[in-house]
Amino acid sequence: MADPTGREAVAAVWRIESARIVGALARSTGDFALAEDLAQEALAEALVTWPREGVPRNPAGWLLTVGKRRAIDGYRRRSALDERYAALAHGLGEGGAYAGTTVEQGQDVLWDPDQIDDDVLALMFISCHPVLSREARVTLTLRVVGGLTSDEIAKAFLVPTATVQARITRAKKTLAAARVPFEVPPAQEWPARIGSVLNVVYLIFTEGSSASSGDEVIRFDLAGEAQRLARVLARLMPQAPEVHGLLALLELTAARFPARTGPDGEPVLLEQQNRRRWDHAAIRRGRAALARAEQAGRGLGAYGLQAAIAECHAVADSVAATDWERIVLLYEALGQLTPSPVVDLNRAAAVAMAQGPEAALSIVDDLVAGAALAHSHLLPSVRGELLSRLGRAAEAREELKRAVELCGNERERAVLAGKLTALG
């Protein structure tokens, strides 16, 4: 294999196992920050040993054993020969007798599937804890649950690696200072806590799917990682309908990726997209997830409603054949649940399709009057479009000019400039 240093193999194992390893170490030491350090130390050791001796038969067991031995070393150094030390040593099947760090290949550390699920879920909850900033939540989740390196995270978010490392260090300190326990929160806390977990996965996805900047290939990976995390969550929390709603939204949104850019990488708007290029397997998975969200019979949440809107597009053969009336209703529901000018603007665009530009313009004018989205190109670009459909070309030109001025993305700006030119 073209992996002369064996580093790629270690990285692959790490991506598969990091959540289990950090979770198991956090559970056995009762200290999340320490667990993350220990796991990183075990990983560093694997990077030295495996390329030389081959990947062990049970790589997760190997990493966990090394992590636990490092923990014992640490306790010993601090002469904290307390219960935790005894429990860890017992778990390693050695009465504290410690000889080097070689780990026998094939040594089987017992994995209890239910315990793993709990560990990974506890890990999700702690890395998405509300006590952390959004940036810290995203970074920590990608690192401990996703198994990405600091370098990979830095590349994905276009920040220096040192920034990512500093974020992780600070996040761990914050969690320690707030004495956040490593546990799956009790059931009554779930409604308050799940939102943050879902939001982190959603943020990872939007970062990966917005072509606003950076290397698009890497960012697509980020979107893929978010989808994977959503699938993991759907497996861990099948009874939480909004988890399925989020998974549905990500699948249905990602389904359009193949059609979203033209041959030269320029953005292609929904109405111009070749629907044959949509990923129809992803649409099917998304619809299945949405059906599960609906089956709970508790109504759809914000992600589920957005997924339902995406489904309306996914099942339609064309813009004209789309059920715009239903989309308007879904946006109305979404606006009640999460009021925002962006939702109103999207509702206006749907109203334009369902009832015509006149009705939509009054929604947009209300937004303008409320000074919403003042610095965004979105409002003038939608308003310009509506005015042009109403035959008010001069006003439309003014709006589109403003939109071009405000638009920060070069490719989108080109699309807007094209519309402006078309107005003559």
Partner 1 sequence: MKYMLIMRATDETVAAFENIDFTEIMESMGKFNDDMVRAGILVAAEGLDPEGGVVVDYSAEPPVVTDGPYGETKELFGGFWILNVASREEAVEWARRAPLAGPGAKAEIRRVTSIDEFPQDNEWIQKERAWREATGQL
Q: Which residues bind partner 1 (CB under 8 A)?
A: 1, 3, 8-9, 11-13, 15-16, 55, 59, 113, 117, 221, 224-225, 227-232, 235, 258, 275-278, 280-281, 283-284
How many CA atoms are closer than 13 Å to the CA of 339, on its beta-carbon side? 3
Give the closest residue to 201 by CA, choosing from 172, 175, 226, 168: 226
Distance CA 290, CA 278 (A): 18
Which tokens belong to 195?
């939102």
Is the Cβ of residue 203 or residue 218 nearer to partner 1 in the bound state?
Answer: 218
Distant-in-sequence contacts of 352-359, Cβ < 8 A, 24+ apart: 352/385, 352/386, 352/389, 353/319, 353/322, 353/324, 353/327, 354/324, 354/325, 354/327, 354/328, 355/328, 357/386, 357/387, 357/389, 357/390, 358/390
Backbone angles phi, psi at 8, to 5 degrees: -65, -40
Is the Cβ of residue 76 or residue 277 nearer to partner 1 in the bound state?
Answer: 277
How many CA atoms are closer than 13 Å to the CA of 87, on its beta-carbon side? 8
Is the Cβ of residue 133 or residue 274 nearer to partner 1 in the bound state?
Answer: 274
Which tokens belong to 393?
């070309």
Neighbour count for residue 323 (Cβ, 10 Å): 16
Shortest approach of partner 1 to residue 163 CB, angstroms? 23
Shortest approach of partner 1 to residue 191 CB, angstroms? 24
Shortest approach of partner 1 to residue 54 CB, angstroms? 11
Distance CA 412, CA 424 (A): 19
DSSP one-letter code for 418: H
Start-to-end C-alpha separation, the chain:
59
Shortest approach of partner 1 to residue 103 CB, angstroms? 17
Which tokens belong to 204?
């990872």
Is the Cβ of residue 54 or residue 370 nearer to partner 1 in the bound state?
Answer: 54
Distance CA 307, CA 303 (A): 6
Is the Cβ of residue 105 or residue 174 nearer to partner 1 in the bound state?
Answer: 105
Is the Cβ of residue 73 or residue 117 nearer to partner 1 in the bound state?
Answer: 117
DSSP one-letter code for 143: I
Shortest approach of partner 1 to residue 17 CB, angstroms? 9
Is the Cβ of residue 226 or residue 333 nearer to partner 1 in the bound state?
Answer: 226
Distance CA 391, CA 296 (A): 47
Is the Cβ of residue 78 or residue 235 nearer to partner 1 in the bound state?
Answer: 235
Shortest approach of partner 1 to residue 59 CB, angstroms? 8
Is the Cβ of residue 76 or residue 228 nearer to partner 1 in the bound state?
Answer: 228
Shortest approach of partner 1 to residue 126 CB, angstroms? 19
Distance CA 71, CA 147 (A): 20
Distance CA 351, CA 389 (A): 13
Distance CA 74, CA 33 (A): 14
Shortest approach of partner 1 to residue 272 CB, angstroms? 16
Shortest approach of partner 1 to residue 349 CB, angstroms? 25
